[in-house]
Amino acid sequence: MMIYDSKSGTFTLHTRRTTYQMQADGHGVLLHLYYGPRVGDGDLSYLLQYTDRGFSPNPSGSGADRIYSLDTLPQEYSTCGVGDYRLASAEVEQPDGSLLLDLRYASHEIRPGKYALEGLPAFFGREGWETLSILLRDPCSGIEAELLYGVCEEDDLITRAVRLTNRGDRPAALCRAMSLCLDFNRADLDLVTFDGGHVKERNLNRAALRPGVQSVGSLRGTSSHQHNPFVILCEQDAGEDHGLCYGAALLYSGNFLAAAERSQFDDTRLVMGIHPHHFRWTLAPGECFTAPEAALVCSPDGLTPMTHRFHRAIRQRLIRDPYQGKRRPVLINNWEATEFRFDADKLVSIAREGAELGMELFVMDDGWFGTRDDDCGGLGDWDVNEKKLPGGLEALVPRIQALGMGFGLWIEPEMVSERSELYRAHPDWALGAPGRPQAQGRSQLVLDFSRQEVRDHVYAAICRVLDSADVSYIKWDMNRSLSDVWSAALPAGRQGEVYHRYMLGVYDLLERLHRDYPGLLTEGCSGGGGRFDAGMLYYTPQIWCSDNTDAIDRLRIQCGTAFCYPVSAIGAHVSAVPNGQTRRAAPMETRGVVAMCGTFGYEMDLGRCTAEEKETVRAQVRTFKDRAALISQGDYYRLTDPFRDLTYTAWQHVSRDRREALVSLVTGSARAALPFIVLRLKGLDPALRYRIDGGERIYDGAALLHAGLSFPLIAGDYQARQLYLRAVEA
């Protein structure tokens, strides 16, 4: 619900459990008043403190009023160079060369439904949403900022985006355009970020805010393995089930910045948006720049409800049909089994084994095209290598389908190898400045996706492949960070636009695929989880979570990922042991239990499994299919914290009606005299009684929640247990 009170100038946004309030004050400055647990509609501006503070200037228009300063008041969208010294939201190089921007309230509009953003990912839906648009204007230049707010009452979600327009008569340059600015009148908060690197993505790091700016971000052209565009600010004693938490996710897959500043007066500002480094966008008169969407969830009662709200909202309001709520096929991918060394018979044999064990989709990974026999060449030439696959996909796909399986394909559209026909024909299509040899990453260069003709060429090539056979899935990979970012299509003064234009180009192709191949399931991937963000989930309903498929390392990687992103979107496969990354040999049962906390599939040569292992696999596939709705649509609970302690890791999926639950537990490396394991379960209905795995004994829901469930001692390394709970009919 959105309420505008014209007397006080306050805007109040209510979700079911939270309230957000701001106010256009007598100077037209839009002040942030409150975001937190739900309160009434009353004007909260009594919270503001007006005091003359040294070295905090008074803006023009405030006359001799020395207690009025942009530097001390909470801003809804902070400006630059006119007296607020904290993190700026926007910076504009004006035609006179100044970097000054002042934004004052001009008008607003409240309308039903959710705003959309041209060319960018965004939460969607007509039902259950309202939009508020507030127009701010710089009194001295022609710069306008339209602040957009989407409120989804049911899911406690507030989205924000910004459109910056130049209404002046000369070009200006945007040097910074944050999507989100959120001020808090407190600094006793922890900042939680999700960090790591290739094969160790999204490890949780939590620390109290220190004076000054703390930030994470990416300058790699992707949201990156190293940091994630999702952060949390929470009370210092907040835990899974208590304490005030704010989660902020940026729907953007390129360079980003998330920065929190604890200021001199112990208040806090969080900003999030496109990273301003390498960003400079020319706004000609009349032109508009749209900053990507950011999504906010405030949970008054801990981290778990925050996670649930993001999961539900992403599943139902970001992931699009037909995969919204739809069970994804259990797939078998040949990458870890064969890498580049395969022929049609080998692929069919892997698929056959998978089909016999109940799998539904075969995915042919890298190496099927051009001269791609290793990772040094072939990218860009999307023609089937008939030496490996005689007769092309036209011959291979029916053989796979005859096994009762769908067929999926790996592509890496954004890249080109020097050793390729495409590069020989169009060397200038790769990003790179004239006269400066480019850095290579995995022996490949990056295509300039900011250019329409490059995208059109790649799209036509992909369509030729997709149209040649019945392809129901693609894995869209991206295996290097950007460097040498310079585009032949833009003049010298506009090279600061290339990173963002590149990202818009990627979104453009993904959108075309979504439009032209409506049933196609696309899995995002960037060397595993290098582009796992809410922006990508709008186009790719699942994302390969990490190139690290070791079940024990995955406990952390998947747990960190699932703080914001739903389990149904987390690409997770069982692979062979010893694991390629860690050389660890976790048991098949354990690998299955861990992969089930994701999209679930296999990535190994099943022909090498023993008969006993195959029976385990068959049972796992059956279990996953039986429990898929519970796992992917239910609520996910962390029962332990794998970032603190890997002695054992446990989590739980609970159906929305609380009548079903799946408890999963994985132990770490064996140790003598371990403590007994007692898990206090979560999410169950205390008034219901449950049976475990169809056993005789009946457990009281309240007892399982408060007294817990104990596990007999588990011997050996990396063991797993999975228990299925079902409510007993009264």
Rounded to a whole number of angstroms, the minimum distance from the CB of residue 478 to ligand DGJ is 9
Query: Distance (Å, rounded) from C-alpha 16 to C-alpha 155?
Result: 8
Q: Let me know: does 687 contact 701? Beta carbons within 8 Å.
A: yes
User: Should residue 477 be labelled a site residue for ligand DGJ when binding is judged by CB under 6 A?
Assistant: yes
Among 428, 401, 412, smallest CA distance to 461 is for 412
Among 59, 33, 54, 31, smallest CA distance to 44 is for 33
Q: Let me know: does 83 contact 103? Beta carbons within 8 Å.
A: no
User: Should residue 525 be labelled a site residue for ligand DGJ when binding is judged by CB under 6 A?
Assistant: yes
User: Should residue 381 be labelled a site residue for ligand DGJ when binding is judged by CB under 6 A?
Assistant: no
> Which of these ranges, 203-211, 294-302, 523-531, 687-695, lies near ligand DGJ under the rule CB under 6 A?
523-531
Nearer to ligand DGJ, 254 or 528 (CB): 528
Rounded to a whole number of angstroms, the minimum distance from the CB of residue 320 to ligand DGJ is 23
> Which of these ranges, 284-292, 312-320, 524-532, 687-695, lies near ligand DGJ under the rule CB under 6 A?
524-532
**What's the half-sphere exposure (Cβ side, CA atoms, 13 Å) at 328?**
32
Two tokens, residue 716: 């050996």
User: Should residue 261 be labelled a site residue for ligand DGJ when binding is judged by CB under 6 A?
Assistant: no
Query: Distance (Å, rounded) from C-alpha 407 to C-alpha 471?
Result: 5
Nearer to ligand DGJ, 159 or 479 (CB): 479
Residue of 533, 550, 603, 660 with catalytic role: 533
Footprint on residues 286-345 left by ligand DGJ (CB under 6 A): 335
Nearer to ligand DGJ, 415 or 720 (CB): 415
- Greatest CA separation found in the chain? 85
Instruction: Give me the phi and psi of 433, to 5 degrees please.
Output: -85, 145
Nearer to ligand DGJ, 380 or 528 (CB): 528
Rounded to a whole number of angstroms, the minimum distance from the CB of residue 449 to ligand DGJ is 18
Of 10, 23, 56, 479, the one binding ligand DGJ (CB under 6 A) is: 479
> Which of these ranges, 397-405, 516-524, 525-533, 608-616, lies near ligand DGJ under the rule CB under 6 A?
525-533
Two tokens, residue 138: 């710089």
Of 267, 360, 365, 448, the one binding ligand DGJ (CB under 6 A) is: 365
Nearer to ligand DGJ, 114 or 388 (CB): 388
Q: Let me know: does 635 contact 683? Beta carbons within 8 Å.
A: yes
Q: Let me know: does 187 contact 262? Beta carbons within 8 Å.
A: yes
Among 480, 341, 335, smallest CA distance to 409 is for 335
Residue number with the shortest CB distance to ligand DGJ? 366
Q: Round the CA-based radius of gyration of the chain to a whole number and report it.
A: 27
Among 414, 556, 574, smallest CA distance to 480 is for 414
Of 528, 560, 601, 634, the one binding ligand DGJ (CB under 6 A) is: 528
Of 252, 410, 502, 563, the one binding ligand DGJ (CB under 6 A) is: 410
Catalytic residue at 414?
no
Rounded to a whole number of angstroms, the minimum distance from the CB of residue 250 to ligand DGJ is 23
Rounded to a whole number of angstroms, the minimum distance from the CB of residue 527 to ligand DGJ is 5
Query: Distance (Å, rounded) from C-alpha 726 to C-alpha 560?
Result: 28
Query: Distance (Å, rounded) from C-alpha 432 to C-alpha 727?
Result: 61
- Is the backbone peptide bond immediately before 322 cis, with ω within 30 degrees of 0? yes
Rounded to a whole number of angstroms, the minimum distance from the CB of residue 546 to ligand DGJ is 8
Footprint on residues 191-250 left by ligand DGJ (CB under 6 A): none
Nearer to ligand DGJ, 19 or 472 (CB): 472
Query: Distance (Å, rounded) from C-alpha 530 to C-alpha 520?
Result: 22
Rounded to a whole number of angstroms, the minimum distance from the CB of residue 374 to ligand DGJ is 10
Query: Distance (Å, rounded) from C-alpha 524 to C-alpha 522?
Result: 6
Of 71, 153, 366, 635, the one binding ligand DGJ (CB under 6 A) is: 366
> Which of these ranges, 127-135, 150-158, 296-304, 521-529, lies near ligand DGJ under the rule CB under 6 A?
521-529
Of 142, 496, 527, 701, the one binding ligand DGJ (CB under 6 A) is: 527
Listed in sequence order, the DSSP H helices in 152-217 are: none
Among 362, 307, 248, 231, smallest CA distance to 567 is for 307
Instruction: Give me the phi and psi of 544, to 5 degrees please.
Output: -65, 120
Nearer to ligand DGJ, 557 or 679 (CB): 557
DSSP lists the bridge partners of residue 184 as 268
Nearer to ligand DGJ, 91 or 547 (CB): 547
Among 602, 600, 597, 614, smallest CA distance to 556 is for 597
Rounded to a whole number of angstroms, the minimum distance from the CB of residue 367 to ligand DGJ is 8
Listed in sequence order, the DSSP H helices in 666-720 are: 701-706
Nearer to ligand DGJ, 155 or 603 (CB): 603
Helix (H, G, I), strand (E, B) or coil at 365: coil
Nearer to ligand DGJ, 469 or 572 (CB): 572
Rounded to a whole number of angstroms, the minimum distance from the CB of residue 476 to ligand DGJ is 10
Instruction: Give me the phi and psi of 407, to 5 degrees please.
Output: -120, 135
Two tokens, residue 416: 């080109």
Q: Let me know: does 485 contact 221? Beta carbons within 8 Å.
A: yes
Rounded to a whole number of angstroms, the minimum distance from the CB of residue 528 to ligand DGJ is 4
Of 123, 544, 637, 699, the one binding ligand DGJ (CB under 6 A) is: 544
The count of chain residues that interact with ligand DGJ, using the rule CB under 6 A, is: 11
Residue of 235, 374, 418, 613 with catalytic role: 613
Residues 6+ apart with CB under 8 A from 264: 211
Nearer to ligand DGJ, 292 or 528 (CB): 528
> Which of these ranges, 95-103, 122-130, 260-268, 520-528, lies near ligand DGJ under the rule CB under 6 A?
520-528
Query: Distance (Å, rounded) from C-alpha 261 to C-alpha 620?
Result: 47
User: Should residue 414 be labelled a site residue for ligand DGJ when binding is judged by CB under 6 A?
Assistant: no
Catalytic residue at 428?
no
Rounded to a whole number of angstroms, the minimum distance from the CB of residue 350 to ligand DGJ is 15
Query: Distance (Å, rounded) from C-alpha 476 to C-alpha 516?
Result: 16
Residues acting as catalytic residues: 533, 613
Q: Given the rule CB under 6 A, which residues bind ligand DGJ? A: 335, 365-366, 410, 477, 479, 525, 527-528, 544, 547
